[in-house]
Amino acid sequence: MKIAVIGAGIIGITTAYELSCDGHEVTVLERCGAAAEEASFANAGIVAPGMPTRDRSHFFSRPAPIRLGWPIAPHELAWFWNWHRARRSDRAQVNRAQMQTLASYSQERLHQITADLKLDYERSDGLLLLLRTEQDSKMMQAGLQRLRETGREFKELSALEARKSEPALSPDTPFFGAIALVNAEVANCRQFALLLKNESQRRGVEFAFNTEVTHIESASGVTLTVAGDSNAYPFDAAVICAGANSARLLVRLGIKLALAALHGYSISAPIREPLNAPRSAVVDQRHQVAISRLGNRVRVSGLAELGGVPGHKRADALQTLYQALHDWFPGAAKLSGGVQEWKGARPTLPDGAPMLGASGIPGLWLNLGQGASGWAMSCGCARALADLMAGKAPEFDLNGLGIERLGR
Ligand SMILES: Cc1cc2nc3c(=O)[nH]c(=O)nc-3n(C[C@H](O)[C@H](O)[C@H](O)COP(=O)(O)OP(=O)(O)OC[C@H]3O[C@@H](n4cnc5c(N)ncnc54)[C@H](O)[C@@H]3O)c2cc1C
């Protein structure tokens, strides 16, 4: 088939690669001038099948899992309410278990692609969830129980044991202990995306950059219209992998997706002294800030903000990241210059699960809404979607991840 993939983030690139492996003729259309320029640009890089969270079931728990920015639109407030309800619903535990299976499958596929293509990108093994106090540890217990129930392996470590894995952790910050997630890793999403893009090009995938899809029409195949071009481009099928912009494309086709852009921040700085830097990745569970080693740089990332001005970086948000770095790895990074400060949008549905599969419109397929785990789930979602498009059963249960959960 002749297939268009809309969007060259990590989801679009892995999708294009898998479709090309199945022998399709693939074109990726991307509005930016290069691949992985938006949400896939500078994320924390954590690839972990199943991340436990603190028990913050109270609507106003602090620090809030999602901060509300200003201005905030009515549809964002509605999203926030639905997100809060979804977390407490019966479906939430099923979703978590399913996400975990998907992330494990995805990690296997990531390793397979890396080995097959001999891809060389920044990565390291290991992830510690840091608990500042006994109270923090108590607030993790419900999350850990959920991990046990789904068979996810982890180890509870004392502060002393945790320091054996991450010897540079500051002795001056209160530290109760850590949770080590077995098989978790950190890897550079953007580097992987660019390498896989090159490999895909070698396999014949075409990339059209600076090409914004403005209109999609479905009638005996799919026809795309792009900005600044009066031609219409016909394909047998198209896959929407347009990240946080996907809902805008779909609404014109009558599909209303409550997809929010949950903004997060990262800072990336050159390592000053490797002995003072993390060996792999840690997450400060109280503040939900990740500190990752990516080659010669340290990346600190976190926060989830709904609403606000997309292009504006809040000083207090960036300060939270600098503070976490100072608390855990003081002196690790050169902060005097060359620090990259970044804000990106996690494309997130209220129930936190991706939207994967047929759209209900002939020829149009969806691979979007991976939220906070888009990198961790990318290779698995891409393979599953390619299987669905080939009429094959994917290797894990996709039940409840498709458009049918919107009642369509
Ligand atoms: C601070 C932060 C930390 C994160 N940490 C992690 C982590 O540790 N682990 C993890 O797994 N995930 C993490 N994530 C989430 C992850 O980065 C995202 O889920 C993932 O990058 C989403 O990929 P995507 O391809 O869907 O979106 P994007 O990378 O945004 O790609 C979508 C692409 O579509 C293009 N596009 C949109 N509309 C059009 C159009 N009309 N025509 C043509 N092109 C279009 C855009 O330009 C863009 O390039 C983090 C995110 C943030 C913000």
Distance in angstroms (rounded) separating the CA atoms of residues 353 and 371: 8
Backbone φ and ψ of 268, nearest 5°: -125, 130
Indicate whether residue 262 lines ligand 1 (CB < 6 A): no
Average pLDDT of the chain?
95
Q: List the domain range (segments joined by +) for residue 367.
A: 2-41+191-258+351-406
Backbone φ and ψ of 76, nearest 5°: -75, -35
Distance in angstroms (rounded) separating the CA atoms of residues 245 and 311: 15
- The verdict on 311 and 378 lying in the same domain is no
pLDDT tens-digit series, residues 186-239: 999 999 999 999 999 999 999 999 999 999 999 889 999 999 999 999 999 999
The residue nearest atom 35 of ligand 1, judged by CA position, is 7
- The verdict on 167 and 290 lying in the same domain is yes
pLDDT tens-digit series, residues 13-45: 999 999 999 999 999 999 999 999 999 999 999
The pLDDT value recorded for residue 364 is 98
Q: Which of 17, 37, 43 most suits a substitution to test ligand 1, by most atoms within 8 Å of the C-beta?
A: 43
Distance in angstroms (rounded) separating the CA atoms of residues 367 and 348: 12
Q: Is the pLDDT of residue 60 over 70?
A: no
* Domain of residue 34, CATH code: 3.50.50.60
Locate the DSSP E strands across 149-236.
154-158, 177-181, 185-187, 206-208, 213-218, 222-226, 232-235
Confidence category of residue 56, pLDDT binned at 50, 70, 90: low
Query: Is position 37 within any domain?
Result: yes
First vs last Cα of the chain: how many Å apart?
26
* CA 193 to ligand 1 centroid distance, Å: 11
The pLDDT value recorded for residue 146 is 87
The pLDDT value recorded for residue 337 is 85
Domain boundary among 348, 379, 395: 348
The pLDDT value recorded for residue 63 is 74
pLDDT tens-digit series, residues 125-182: 999 999 999 999 999 999 899 889 888 899 999 999 999 999 999 999 999 999 999 9
Q: Which of 38, 185, 288, 367 most suits a substitution to test ligand 1, by most atoms within 8 Å of the C-beta?
A: 38
Indicate whether residue 32 lines ligand 1 (CB < 6 A): yes
Q: Which of 66, 188, 189 most suits a substitution to test ligand 1, by most atoms within 8 Å of the C-beta?
A: 189
Indicate whether residue 212 lines ligand 1 (CB < 6 A): yes
The pLDDT value recorded for residue 257 is 96
Provide the domain count of the chain. 2
Q: Is the pLDDT of residue 62 over 80?
A: no
Backbone φ and ψ of 284, nearest 5°: -75, 105
If you average pLDDT over residues 261-281, what whole number do you get? 97
Domain boundary among 323, 348, 373: 348
The pLDDT value recorded for residue 239 is 98
* Ligand 1 atom closest to residue 370's alpha carbon, by position in its atom list: 19
The pLDDT value recorded for residue 97 is 85
* Ligand 1 atom closest to residue 344's alpha carbon, by position in its atom list: 53
* CA 362 to ligand 1 centroid distance, Å: 25
* Domain of residue 81, CATH code: 3.30.9.10
- The verdict on 154 and 277 lying in the same domain is yes
* Ligand 1 atom closest to residue 377's alpha carbon, by position in its atom list: 11
- Distance set, CA 239 to CA 25, 224, 283, 342 (Å): 13, 11, 34, 28
* CA 244 to ligand 1 centroid distance, Å: 7
